[in-house]
Structure 1
Amino acid sequence: MRPLSTRRAAAAANRIRGPQSALTDFLASHNISAQQIHLDYQQRLQDATNAEQQAGQAESENKENEEEDDGEDPVERQKRKRKEEKALMKIKQSKEFKRRKFEQKQELGSDYEPDDDELAQAMLAKSKPLPGQLDNCEICGKRFTVTPYSRTGPDGGLLCTKCSKELKDEEKKDQKANKKKIVAPRGRRRQTESDRLMGDVKPGAKSLVDICVRRVANVVHDIDEFGDMPQNLLDRLSQILSKQRVLTPRVLDLFLRQDVDRINVYDCGKLEKEDFQKIFAYMPNVEFVNLRFAGQLKDNVILYMVDKCKKIRHLQLGATNLVSDETWITLFRTLGPQLESLKLSELNDSLRDDTVKELVKHCQGLKRLKLRSCSHMTPESIDTLCGLTSLEHLTLAVAQDTSAESLVKLISSVGHNLRTLCLEDYSELDDTVLEAIKNTCSKLGKLRIRGSSLCSDAAFAGLFDNNSPFPPLVYADFADNRDIDNMNPEGPQDNPIGFGSLALAALIAHSGSRLERLDLKSCRHISHTALLDVFDGLKKYPEIKDIDLSFVTQVDEVVMIGIFKSCPKLTKLAVFACFNARRAVIPAGIAVVGLPNAQDSIVREGDAYMEM
Structure 2
Amino acid sequence: MSRNRRAAGAVRGPSSALTSFLAGLGVEPSERLTTWGDTSSINRSEQHDDQTQLAHDGPVLNDAQELDPAGAVTARTVVAGPSVVGEGTPDLEIGGMKRKRAVDGDGASEKGVTNNKRARATSIDSDDLDADNGPIAGPSKSVTPVIESPKLSSGVAGPLKAVGEFMDCGQCGKKFTVTAYTKEHPSNPSTFLCVNCCYALGIDPFAKPKKGAVKKKPVARKDVRSKVVHYEERKGVSPLGDICIHLIGQYIENVGKLGDIGGINMDKVCKIISKGRRLTPETAPLFYSADRESLAMYDCTRLTPEAFITLGKLCPNLTSLHLHLCGQLSTDAVSSWGKCLKHLKRLELFAPFLVRKEGWINFFKAVGKHLEGFLVTQSPRIDLETIQVMVKSCPNLTELRLAEIGQLNSDCIAALKPLKKLKILDLSFPGTPLPDDTVSDLLSGVGGNIQNLVLADNPDLTDAVLLSIAKHCPQLRSLSLRNAVELTDEGVASFFVLLKKRQQPGLVQIDLEKGHDLKEKALRALIDHSGSTVERLSLLGWRELPADAISELTKCTKLRELNMGWCRNVTDHTVKDILEGCEAVQLLKVWGCNQLSDAVPRKKGVNVVGIETHSI
Q: Same fold (TM over 0.5)?
A: yes
Q: Distance in 2 between matches of 1:503 and 1:240?
A: 43
Q: Does 1:506 align with 2:525?
A: yes
Supply the distance in 2 between the matched residues of 1:333 and 1:381 (Cα, whole angstroms): 19
1:402–1:426 contact (8 Å) kept in structure 2: yes
1:359 pairs with 2:390: yes
Q: Which residue of 503, 515, 522 corresponds with 1:481? A: 515
Of 288, 300, 313, the residue aligned with 2:320 is 288
Taking a change above 3 Å as real, the CA distance of residues 356 and 509 of structure 1, as seen in their structure-2 partners, is same
SS at match of 1:234: helix
Q: For the structure 1 residues 251 and 525, does the alpha-carbon distance in structure 2 shift closer, same or farther, using more than 3 Å as the test? A: farther
Question: Is residue 2:409 matched to residue 1:381?
Answer: no
Q: Among all aligned residue pairs of Structure 1 and Structure 2, give the percentage whose two residues are the same amino acid.
A: 27
| Alpha-carbon displacement from aligned partner over 1:487-514 (angstroms, at most 9, x marks no partner) | xxxxxxxxxx3x3221111111211212
Structure 2 letter corresponding to 1:509: D
SS of the aligned residue for 1:366 comes to coil
Q: How does 1:191-230 map to 2 (within 5 A)?
A: 216=244, 220-222=248-250, 224=252, 225=255, 227-230=259-262
**Alignment equivalent of 2:403, drawn from 354, 359, 372:** 372
Question: Which of 325, 331, 340 matches 1:299?
Answer: 331
Q: Which residue of 2 aligns with 1:530?
A: 549
Q: 1:553 Cα deviation (Å)?
A: 1.9
Question: Is the Cα–Cα contact under 8 Å of residues 441 and 469 in structure 1 kept in the other structure?
Answer: no
Of 435, 445, 456, the residue aligned with 2:467 is: 435
User: What is the identity, as a one-letter code, of the residue corresponding to 2:515?
Assistant: N
The one-letter amino acid of 2:465's match is: V
- Pair 579,276 (structure 1): closer, same or farther in 2 beyond 3 Å: same
In the TM superposition, what are the counterparts of 1:325-364 in structure 2 within 5 Å? 325-348=357-380, 350-364=381-395
1:402 maps to which of 427, 430, 434: 434
Quote the offset at 1:354 in angstroms: 1.4
**Pair 1:461–1:215, CA change in 2 (3 A):** farther
1:264 equivalent to 2:264? Answer no
| 1:369–1:393 CA contact under 8 A, matched in 2 | yes
- Counterpart CA distance in 1 for 2:463 and 2:501 is 16
Aligned residue-pair number: 374
SS in 2 for 1:426: coil
2:421 is equivalent to residue 390 of structure 1: yes
Listed as ranges, the gaps of 5+ residues in structure 2 are 1-234
- The structure-2 alpha-carbon separation of the partners of 1:427 and 1:218, relative to structure 1 and needing over 3 Å to count, comes to same
Identify the range of structure 1 (586-595 vs 264-273) with the bigger mean alpha-carbon deviation.
586-595
Matches within 5 A, 1:594-609: 594-596=610-612
| Whole-angstrom CA distance in 2 between matches of 1:362 and 1:561 | 54
CA distance in 2, matches of 1:574, 1:372: 25
| Counterpart for residue 585 of structure 1 | 601
Q: 1:471 aligns with which of 505, 508, 514?
A: 505
8 Å Cα contact 1:545/1:572 also seen in 2: yes
Asked whether the equivalents of residues 345 and 372 of structure 1 are also in contact (C-alpha less than 8 Å), the reply is yes
Cα distance per residue 1:397-445 (max 9 Å; x no partner): 1244222110111111111111111101112211110001111111111
> TM-score, with normalisation over the residues of structure 1?
0.58
Aligned position for 2:569:
554
CA 1:187 to 1:368, structure 2 compared with 1: closer, same or farther past 3 Å? farther
Matched residue type, 2:601: V
Q: How far has the Cα of 1:366 moved from its partner?
A: 0.4
- Cα deviation for residue 221 of structure 1 reads 3.2
Question: How many Å apart are 1:351 and its aligned residue?
Answer: 0.5
- TM-score by length of structure 2 reads 0.57
Aligned partners of 2:560 and 2:287: how far apart in 1? Answer: 32
Q: Unaligned 5+ residue runs, structure 1?
A: 1-185, 192-211, 483-496, 601-612
Structure 1 residue 468, shift from structure 2 partner: 4.2
Q: Post-superposition shift, 1:239?
A: 3.0
The Cα shift of 1:599 comes to 10
Q: Which residue of 2 aligns with 1:98?
A: none
C-alpha contact (below 8 Å) 2:594/2:612 kept by paired residues: no
Q: Distance in 2 between matches of 1:571 and 1:282?
A: 41
**CA 1:217 to 1:551, structure 2 compared with 1: closer, same or farther past 3 Å?**
farther
Q: Is the 8 A contact 1:541 1:568 kept in 2?
A: no
Counterpart AA for 1:390: K
**Aligned residue identity for 1:278:** T
Contact 2:591 2:612 in 1 (8 A): no
3-state DSSP class of the match of 1:315?
A: strand
> Could you tell me how far 1:246 is from its partner in structure 2?
2.5
Which structure is larger by alpha-carbon Rg, 1 or 2?
A: 2
1:541 paired residue number? 556
Superposed CA RMSD: 2.6
- Kindly indicate whether the alpha-carbon contact (under 8 Å) linking 2:345 and 2:370 is maintained by their aligned counterparts in 1: yes
| Whole-angstrom CA distance in 2 between matches of 1:514 and 1:501 | 20
C-alpha separation in 1, matches of 2:573 and 2:250: 51
SS in 2 for 1:447: strand
Aligned 8 A contact 1:400 1:425 in 2:
no
Where do residues 129-144 of structure 1 align in structure 2 (5 Å cutoff)?
A: none
Cα distance in 2 for partners of 1:406, 1:396 equals 12
Higher helix share: 1
Secondary structure, in 3 states, of the residue corresponding to 1:250?
A: coil
Query: Which residue matches 2:534?
Result: 515
1:319 to 351, 354, 358: 351
Match of 1:147 in 2: none
Shift of residue 571, structure 1, vs aligned partner: 1.1
The CA deviation at 1:249 is 2.5
